[in-house]
Structure 1
Amino acid sequence: MGDGARSGYKRGVFKALAVRPAAPDVGAVVRSLLGVLVAAGLGLYLLGPSAALAAGGAAAIAGAAALQDSPHGRFPIVVGVSVAMGAAVLLGASTSAYWPVFVVAVAIGCFLAGLAWAAGRNAGLLAAAGCVLLVIAPPTPPSWAGVVGSAALAVLAGLAQAAMIALWPRRRWQVQRQALTVAYRSLAADARALAEDPSGEIAAAPLRRLREVFTFTPEQAVRHPLAYRAWYRLPERIGVTLAALAGRSNVDHGLSPILAAAADVLDAVARPTRANAKVTGYAMGRFDAVAAGASDLESPLIRRLSAQLRDAAALRYGEAAPDTAELAQRRRPGLVGTAAQAAALIRGQVDADSPVMRHAIRLSVAAGCGVAIARVADVAQGYWIPLTIVMVLRPETAHTYTRCVGRVAGIAAGVAVATLITLVLHPAGPFAALCGVLLLGAVYAVAGRGYVMVTAALSAALVFLVDVSGVAGLVTMGDRVIAALIGGVLAILAHVVLPDRTSVRLRQRAGELLKAEIDYAATVLRASVHDVERPGEQMAAAWDRALRARAAFEASAATGLMDDRQLRRWLSSYRAGLNAVTASCAALEANLPARRAAETSTALASAVDEYVEALRGDPQTAGLAWTLDVTTLVAAAGRVRAELAGVDDGSARVLLTEIEAVTGHLVQIGSLQRVSEPTSG
């Protein structure tokens, strides 16, 4: 990689790093909000306020889906969201005038939206947003032109957002793609150089910059699934394997052709175009042919490199399970494949003990009751009752009531602020839509400042989008706040009447505690091989989170059936295993110097990083308690052991001892999770 390419890439990285990690790309957000404003304006001009709400709401939801943090696969998701929003508008507009039918429609729609949490947090939030469009449908007699027109505008508004992300992708995605291209080209150049001179090294700067543009901070990396982290971890692992092969090549020059063949594959993978798919297949075939003649002594490294190259090709061409013979036919899952994957996850949660199923039932019953109360009692601004329920309820097992109350308070504050703005400015029509869009921008601005502020900003935006006439006064504000409070009470009652089972809640808290303890261990391990900023503060924060998780676990265990002998035995074993993990991490932290005396080798740092990734696993989902992938963890620990085998250093010996101790204890905990889970309650 030339100096010009390096300097150009460096400028791109620094531009990306200038954006706050918690904030979305400002340009992409502005484009999305402009799409919402145009959609709402067209709906208002063509069909009236109801269509403006449907089109603007669908555009806002599709725009939020388009801003998800993923390097590819957004377009089919946004298209699917657009169709789903159109269906929600169609269902609401056609049934809202007949309240018994509308109650049933809302109950069914909210039940399906609750089940969507099985497919992940983003899917659950998008489904809840669709329910918002459903429950706020005005109770006006439907006409074919109005119903079909509103639904069509909603779909078109969402598709317009999909078109905008295709034409003007987020700057961060562009920087990430550029970083991937630079990293793979650098690896290809290094592989060719190592084939000629095995004493060379792998350039570390492109790989380090690749990690930076994908993660920004280690804390942000934890929130990403393993599939996302593979984008920057896989090139690092390939670099380590290439360096290991080059070291063997010093004594066996027959490995040079393998390095050269790997360079051809990496060059083809650097630009995953349709034309390069066939080139990648041919390059992979040549690599297999060259590798077939390698000696048995080198076969483990060659097999590792072969698997990594296949994974790189699969990841760049949008597949999860690579097949060299079909590289030219690689396609991304698409809308149908994404929907099929989500349906499979939802089917797995159709069980009475599932927290997702219980959430779906709670949401369905509470929202249906909220609509019935609003219509039968003729509550002024009554749509805020089911709207509050949809915005408040989540499939949470920890701090449930506190978060419900916090969200209701945020809704009340947002309604009050929006109503006061109405009293001062008297916005109506397009001006009201503009105010709603500006407040949607405030939702993005406060996205990293807590759920209360986000809920307040969102409810304020909804005030303007729902009531574009702008006719509101202090009485209207009081009616909205009272309706929101009624909805909040119904949401809390739903949790009281239909709580999660004691055993399920205990299992979820046990998973949360295990994840918190592992995050503490990962923080200590990362500080052992990397120079991190303020390591003491990071470890103290991780330990504080672990303490809070332990307190929540013990509180949940105290409410369990303590006369159950199996449960007591399980709790005793689980506590003992976690205490042993904590002791190992404390010993490692005590051995941690303020600054490491010597630079850690790239191979060792990569091995420890891979172990940390295996520790952290995927983020916890609503439907399943967090569990360990014991097989991956043991394999990663073996790689650390291999890297430290020839190192004669006291700190390295302590690191290896504690990693093996942590692995052993976690394997025992993993067996407890699989075999001896609490079943009472």
Structure 2
Amino acid sequence: MSWRRALKDTARSGIAVEKKRLEPLIAVRGAAGLAIVIALSLWLFGPAAAASSAFGAFQAAIATFQRSWRPRPELAIASGTSLAVSTFLGYLTISKEPLFLALLVVWAFAAGMSWAAGPTIGLIASSNVAIMLVTVTLPTSVAQAAGHAAMMIVGGLVQAALIVLFPVRRWGAHRDALADALAAEADYARRLRHDPVASFDPQPLMEARNAAAVTPRQARRRPAELHGARGIAERIRPVLASLADPAMGVPAEGPARDRVRELLASAAALLDAAAHAIRHGEPVSTPPAALATFRTPDTGSILTGAPYRAMTRLNTLLQDVVETAGGAPQESALQGGAPKGRGELRDQPQPTRTRPRTAPHHPPRRRPTFLALIPKALKAMRSELHRGSPITRHATRVSAVAATGYILGTWLPLGHGYWAPLTSVMVMRPDFSQTYSRAVARLAGTVIGVAVATGVVQAATPGTLQSGTLAVASAALMYLLMRTGQFATQACIAAYVVFLLGMGGEEWTQTVPERVLLTLMGGFLAMLAYAVYPAWETPRLRTRLADWLAAQGPYAAAVFGSYADPSASNAPDVRGALLTARTARAAWHAAVARATAEPVRHRGLSRTAADDAEDALAQLGRVAMLLEAHLPERGATPVPPAARFADALRESTHKGAKAIRERRVPTWDAVREALDAWETEDTDKVLRNTATLVLDTLTELSEALDTAVPPMTLDGTAPEKPDGPRNPKDSATR
């Protein structure tokens, strides 16, 4: 992508306004906390202290809006306290400019490194540095600085108290995460009716897993319907895929396929009902037609083998998820289950039933307390502290730009020189697209916000109380529109600061003209810093792809290993490998999204090659998932060739990942040899055919990368072109 197009796209995304669900009650609560702090500070200490403390309450409320599963009161207190510490330390050094500049560099670098611990911590730390540049100018003595810092802490405490006393949709984010996961699986079931090998994005399941980790305090108060349903949803997904995929035994057309379509439609309806109940905290209203589909007597005579086992497991899992979501009064509707089939299927063991509402099968996932999070955050920052890390590059850019902006702002005869470094710190992010889009949004929003606020001040000449009221109104509007985009947010923030400084005694003529110019300079410095010292994602795409292969291979190997030794407890190994593969997949997709917006050429991995390689690895994960739906019970007959195949797959994918990083085409001779040896033995044909699909997907990966490397490999030899079918989907439907 050219620089011209990249700048155009980022500018467009920066000023875009998205349609999002507004949360007016939460906005009113945040504005109420801000109003309480301003009124209390005005009454006790005067306008200057009120302006300083208002920043603490304002930032504390913003922190509670961030995408985090941690209790909101903790975020508010942490934000107010950290801002108080930053302000007090800044005031102690502000009288000696070299010392303050050194503190600013250290604080900005630490804020940049804090993004390694997560976006919420990174945003709070960056905001603290930016707001500190303003608040250190308000006190006039050390005692006043301590008082202002104390009031900032009070601001965080007030916001936390309001969250506790006036909860708005308590556990709402956790309910939405779990409901979104179930709704995504319902949509997946519907798509499988028309496309038996449809893809599934596991991101909703990952979000639900993140939401399921709770602190000890949350674990004692979590609603019953949030227990257990996520684990059941995880088990439903592979069963749905196994029921629909032709490779598992159901023909592409015919009575069996028609019955599978009916079962998938009914499963989607039941999952949607459970999602709606969890989202709104209501009893499940199960559709009678969906229930009747699973009670149809002739299902056992139409489906046999693996499809029948998938149907019975799906029936049991759906009953569990309905009960967990709050459908106990209707449990008899599904409890009858599907009828028994013919022959050996009459004695098939049924899956173990769970009752998550009364006795969870697994203890809740624990989230560390805020104090316990500090060592983990420091460890994450330390692990990123090396030359090639994008986080370290971001921290270096932030500290350099903050110092440069402060020096230029102080040197220029504009006054209020802190606006330049404030803008730079607020807009800079570890990736290109967010930095540039936020810079454009801040500039445009600042012009609009300052113009509107200036017009109001000129027309009405408000006093202290009126300015405070206008500041609270601007903050309330910002809280309301925060999720709609950066443009509206920055406009409201600009108006808020103008009114708040006006309440502190500064005339609008002292802030508006220079703020626009210095904001422009700060945004330009931020954009220039990324262009001069970038951290492009495009050159690292090969590494991300190799990481995904290195994680996807062990997952598939763990599944085959479960068939090789059913007596061992392999389920935890499969689960752990699956979570690692999902994390690598998410990292790949995030990297591709960032690389797409970057104005740099690819280096050895074109967009077409990346798309084809992504499809191949996604197919590898789907094939492994089909087998995961039918993991053998303990006591089942071992399949020794599966062990050899699993070992070859694990070793070959490890070597293949290394080859990708070194710009070579991976080869799969060991996997092919293990499969050839397997075909000479009389074992489970479904398992063996699935192994063939695995080799097909690996071959497709090599063919995709064969177009993305130089004609000669690093060792000077021509890469060997593997044989095999191009598309594993073709093999799945033969």
Give the alignment's TM-score, normalised by structure 2.
0.53
Moved more, 88-97 or 143-152: 88-97
CA separation in 1, counterparts of 2:463 and 2:545? Answer: 48
CA shift, 1:31, in A, is: 1.1
Q: Which amino acid letter does the alignment assign opposite residue 134 of structure 2?
A: I
CA separation in 2, counterparts of 1:81 and 1:211? Answer: 39
1:486 equivalent to 2:521? Answer yes
Partner of 1:50: 48
Partner of 1:353: 388
CA shift, 1:151, in A, is: 0.9
Q: Is the 8 A contact 1:54 1:89 kept in 2?
A: no
CA separation in 1, counterparts of 2:370 and 2:361? Answer: 23
CA shift, 1:128, in A, is: 1.6
CA shift, 1:471, in A, is: 4.8
* Aligned equivalent of 1:369, options 399, 404, 412: 404
Q: Which amino acid letter does the alignment assign opposite residue 556 of structure 1?
A: V
CA shift, 1:479, in A, is: 2.0
Q: Is the 8 A contact 2:446 2:491 kept in 1?
A: yes
Structure 2 unaligned blocks of 5 or more? 1-17, 188-199, 213-225, 244-294, 327-346, 549-588, 620-624, 631-660, 662-683, 715-734
**Secondary structure in 2 aligned to 1:427?**
coil
CA shift, 1:364, in A, is: 1.2
* Aligned equivalent of 2:540, options 489, 507, 532: 507
Partner of 1:66: 64
Q: Is the 8 A contact 2:478 2:493 kept in 1?
A: yes
> Residues 272-319 of structure 1, C-alpha deviation per residue, up to 9 Å, x if partnerless?
xxxxxxxxxxxxxxxxxxxxxxxxx989955x979999986433xx51
RMSD: 5.6
Structure 1 residues 378 and 546: alpha-carbon distance in aligned structure 2, compared to 1, 3 A threshold? closer
CA separation in 2, counterparts of 1:398 and 1:513? Answer: 24
Aligned pairs for 1:409-488 within 5 A? 409-469=444-504, 471-473=506-508, 476-488=511-523
> Residues 166-223 of structure 1, C-alpha deviation per residue, up to 9 Å, x if partnerless?
222221525956998xx9xxxxxxxxxxxxxxxxxxxxx99669999xxxxx999669
Structure 1 residues 301 and 411: alpha-carbon distance in aligned structure 2, compared to 1, 3 A threshold? same
Partner of 1:636: none
Structure 1 residues 422 and 306: alpha-carbon distance in aligned structure 2, compared to 1, 3 A threshold? same
1:557 equivalent to 2:601? Answer yes
Structure 1 residues 237 and 158: alpha-carbon distance in aligned structure 2, compared to 1, 3 A threshold? same
CA shift, 1:462, in A, is: 2.0
Moved more, 395-404 or 661-670: 661-670
1:156 equivalent to 2:154? Answer yes
Partner of 1:228: 210
Structure 1 residues 550 and 335: alpha-carbon distance in aligned structure 2, compared to 1, 3 A threshold? closer
Partner of 2:428: 393
CA separation in 1, counterparts of 2:707 and 2:148? Answer: 54
Q: Which amino acid letter does the alignment assign opposite residue 209 of structure 2?
A: A
Q: Which amino acid letter does the alignment assign opposite residue 350 of structure 1?
A: L
> Residues 550-608 of structure 1, C-alpha deviation per residue, up to 9 Å, x if partnerless?
983795235xxxxxxxx64xx27x8535236569999xxxxxxxxxxxxxxxx99x979
Structure 1 residues 579 and 476: alpha-carbon distance in aligned structure 2, compared to 1, 3 A threshold? same
Structure 1 residues 466 and 444: alpha-carbon distance in aligned structure 2, compared to 1, 3 A threshold? same
Structure 1 residues 307 and 463: alpha-carbon distance in aligned structure 2, compared to 1, 3 A threshold? same
Partner of 1:173: 171
* Aligned equivalent of 2:118, options 109, 117, 120: 120
**Secondary structure in 2 aligned to 1:139?**
coil
Q: Is the 8 A contact 2:423 2:523 kept in 1?
A: yes
1:335 equivalent to 2:370? Answer yes
CA separation in 2, counterparts of 1:72 and 1:366? Answer: 32
CA separation in 1, counterparts of 2:443 and 2:608? Answer: 36
Q: Is the 8 A contact 2:62 2:479 kept in 1?
A: no
CA shift, 1:363, in A, is: 1.2
**Secondary structure in 2 aligned to 1:352?**
coil
Q: Which amino acid letter does the alignment assign opposite residue 367 of structure 1?
A: A
Aligned pairs for 1:247-266 within 5 A? none
Structure 1 residues 585 and 493: alpha-carbon distance in aligned structure 2, compared to 1, 3 A threshold? closer
> Residues 443-493 of structure 1, C-alpha deviation per residue, up to 9 Å, x if partnerless?
233334332332222222222223324653457422221222222232233
Structure 1 residues 87 and 171: alpha-carbon distance in aligned structure 2, compared to 1, 3 A threshold? same
1:382 equivalent to 2:417? Answer yes
CA shift, 1:30, in A, is: 0.9
Q: Is the 8 A contact 1:22 1:447 kept in 2?
A: no
CA separation in 2, counterparts of 1:334 and 1:547? Answer: 30
CA shift, 1:112, in A, is: 1.2
Q: Is the 8 A contact 2:616 2:698 kept in 1?
A: no
Q: Is the 8 A contact 2:80 2:153 kept in 1?
A: yes
Total equivalences in the alignment: 479
Q: Is the 8 A contact 1:427 1:469 kept in 2?
A: no
Structure 1 residues 209 and 508: alpha-carbon distance in aligned structure 2, compared to 1, 3 A threshold? closer
> Residues 208-267 of structure 1, C-alpha deviation per residue, up to 9 Å, x if partnerless?
69999xxxxx999669746336666324346789999x999xx99xx9xxx9xx99xx98
Structure 1 residues 52 and 657: alpha-carbon distance in aligned structure 2, compared to 1, 3 A threshold? farther
CA shift, 1:104, in A, is: 2.0
CA shift, 1:378, in A, is: 4.7
CA separation in 2, counterparts of 1:663 and 1:394? Answer: 36
Partner of 2:363: 314
Structure 1 residues 401 and 177: alpha-carbon distance in aligned structure 2, compared to 1, 3 A threshold? closer
Structure 1 residues 399 and 552: alpha-carbon distance in aligned structure 2, compared to 1, 3 A threshold? farther
CA shift, 1:36, in A, is: 1.0
Aligned pairs for 1:530-549 within 5 A? none
Aligned pairs for 1:138-217 within 5 A? 138-139=136-137, 142-171=140-169, 173=171
Partner of 1:87: 85
Q: Is the 8 A contact 1:114 1:357 kept in 2?
A: yes
Structure 1 residues 583 and 206: alpha-carbon distance in aligned structure 2, compared to 1, 3 A threshold? closer
> Residues 347-405 of structure 1, C-alpha deviation per residue, up to 9 Å, x if partnerless?
12111221211111111121122222333445323221222112222211347545533
CA separation in 1, counterparts of 2:597 and 2:490? Answer: 28
Q: Percent identity?
A: 28
Q: Which amino acid letter does the alignment assign opposite residue 77 of structure 1?
A: L
CA shift, 1:146, in A, is: 0.7
Q: Is the 8 A contact 2:403 2:421 kept in 1?
A: yes
CA separation in 2, counterparts of 1:92 and 1:54? Answer: 13
CA separation in 1, counterparts of 2:356 and 2:703? Answer: 29
CA shift, 1:97, in A, is: 3.5
Partner of 1:32: 30
Q: Is the 8 A contact 1:397 1:505 kept in 2?
A: no
CA separation in 2, counterparts of 1:209 and 1:549? Answer: 21
CA separation in 2, counterparts of 1:512 and 1:410? Answer: 38
Q: Which amino acid letter does the alignment assign opposite residue 363 of structure 2?
A: A
* Aligned equivalent of 1:106, options 104, 107, 121: 104
Partner of 2:551: none
**Secondary structure in 2 aligned to 1:136?**
helix
Q: Is the 8 A contact 1:514 1:578 kept in 2?
A: no
Structure 1 unaligned blocks of 5 or more? 1-19, 184-204, 213-217, 271-296, 320-331, 516-544, 559-566, 587-602, 609-624, 626-644, 648-652
Q: Which amino acid letter does the alignment assign opposite residue 148 of structure 2?
A: S
**Secondary structure in 1 aligned to 2:503?**
coil
CA separation in 1, counterparts of 2:531 and 2:140? Answer: 37
CA shift, 1:88, in A, is: 1.6
Larger Rg: 2
**Secondary structure in 2 aligned to 1:314?**
coil
CA shift, 1:508, in A, is: 6.0
